[in-house]
A = this chain, B = another copy of it.
Amino acid sequence: MEKAGWVERVVELLKKEKLRWVYYSNVSTNPRDSQVQEGVSLYREQEADVVIGLGGGSPMDTAKGIALVASNGGQIRDYEGANRISYPLPPMLLIPTTAGSGSDISQFAVIRDVERRVKMSIISRTLLPNISIVDPTLLLTQSEDLIAAAALDALSHAVESYVSRIASPFTESQSLQAIQLIMKFARRAVESRELEYLEQLSIASNAAAMAFSNAGVGAEHALAHALGGMFDVLHGWVHPVLLPAVLRFNSSKCLNKMAVIGDTILGKRYGSHQATCDAAIDKLDEFCASLGGALNLRQIVSDPSLLDDLCRIAAGDVCLLTNPREAGWEDLLGICKEAW
């Protein structure tokens, strides 16, 4: 963000309006509880009263965490789960520079509890920012890798929210729109980095985020959070590894919906829902592979004996509640073995 000049741009605008500001940039991938806490201290010291988050999912989630703890007290881990926030947050303005996390338009913030090696989902309507500036121009400074990783995240949001237990007709249409746009434009965006295609990914990311913000995600995100917590891997690159195996596991409970996804991305249906579903998963698998990155879990997890722990952690993730098929830690272990 600094190298791309966006930080300077924001600072210039604040100066022009004669607004006091303080800059906080200690944010890593899979942002940590301690980074939130440090931001909170700065917020309080400086008597700040507004939070601006600039960047991808990590800085935006950190901004949300800071706004939350600064106004509600305690520590970020006190708010893990859904609807545990009591007091209003300071005004938040988010400026996404990737098209994927959807943090700019969702009620989620995901922060890593370093001690427990867990990525906590914090879910509350009050985590929606007051304003988001969603401008595809800001996507032009991304690397090809980042475009791809973000698009994969949006794809996973779209697919998981579509088959979620609490999906509604309102989220379903947004999920399908996102799936369609990502399958159509992600490769072109990565290859050309042209504004036209990046804009389509921006639309897709927002549609997917409106869907998952209301319908939640599922087992794939539960596992992705556990992987991020234990191994600090970049969230977007986890999806190609896990998504196909999770969808195969879930498919018996959402065959009709998987057939609709198939119809959407293949432009046709096969002889049965099962056949269309299988073809859809193959197509998604092939699409993920075409964007690069690891395809096997063993490329991320060095030691298979760690899988038990990983799956026990994932089994406690709030995202699992909306997965279409009930899954205990042993089911998740089966998925990991398939993805191994």
Q: Which residues of A contact B (CB under 8 A)?
A: 169-170, 173-174, 177, 203, 206-207, 210
- Contact (Cβ within 8 A) B174 A206: no
Copies in the complex: 2
List 12 A-B residue pairs with CB atoms under 8 Å apart, sorted by A's residue number. A169-B177, A169-B203, A169-B207, A170-B174, A170-B203, A170-B206, A170-B207, A170-B210, A173-B173, A173-B174, A173-B177, A173-B207
Q: Which residues of B contact A203 (CB under 8 A)?
A: 169-170
Interface of A is mostly: helix
Q: Which residues of B contact A177 (CB under 8 A)?
A: 169, 173
Which of A169, A170, A174, A177 has most B Cβ within 10 Å?
A169
Q: Which residues of B contact A170 (CB under 8 A)?
A: 174, 203, 206-207, 210
Q: Which residues of B contact A210 (CB under 8 A)?
A: 170
How far in angstroms is the closest Cβ of chain B from A215?
Answer: 15
* Closest Cβ neighbor of A204 among chain B residues: B169
Q: How far is the CA of A174 from the CA of B174 in the complex (A)?
A: 8
How far in angstroms is the closest Cβ of chain B from A285?
Answer: 26
How far in angstroms is the closest Cβ of chain B from A194?
Answer: 18
Q: How far is the CA of A169 from the CA of B170 in the complex (A)?
A: 14
Q: How far is the CA of A177 from the CA of B203 in the complex (A)?
A: 18
Q: Which residues of B contact A174 (CB under 8 A)?
A: 170, 173
* Closest Cβ neighbor of A210 among chain B residues: B170
How far in angstroms is the closest Cβ of chain B from A125?
Answer: 11
How far in angstroms is the closest Cβ of chain B from A20?
Answer: 26
Q: Which residues of B contact A169 (CB under 8 A)?
A: 177, 203, 207
Q: How far is the CA of A203 from the CA of B207 in the complex (A)?
A: 18
How far in angstroms is the closest Cβ of chain B from A284?
Answer: 21
Among all A-B residue pairs, the 5 with the closest Cβ atoms = A169-B203, A173-B177, A173-B173, A170-B207, A173-B174
Q: How far is the CA of A206 from the CA of B169 in the complex (A)?
A: 10
Q: How far is the CA of A37 from the CA of B288 in the complex (A)?
A: 60
How far in angstroms is the closest Cβ of chain B from A142?
Answer: 21
* Closest Cβ neighbor of A169 among chain B residues: B203
Q: How far is the CA of A203 from the CA of B173 in the complex (A)?
A: 12
How far in angstroms is the closest Cβ of chain B from A138?
Answer: 18
Given A169-B177, A169-B207: 9 more A-B contacts, CB < 8 Å: A169-B203, A170-B174, A170-B203, A170-B207, A170-B210, A173-B173, A173-B174, A173-B177, A173-B207
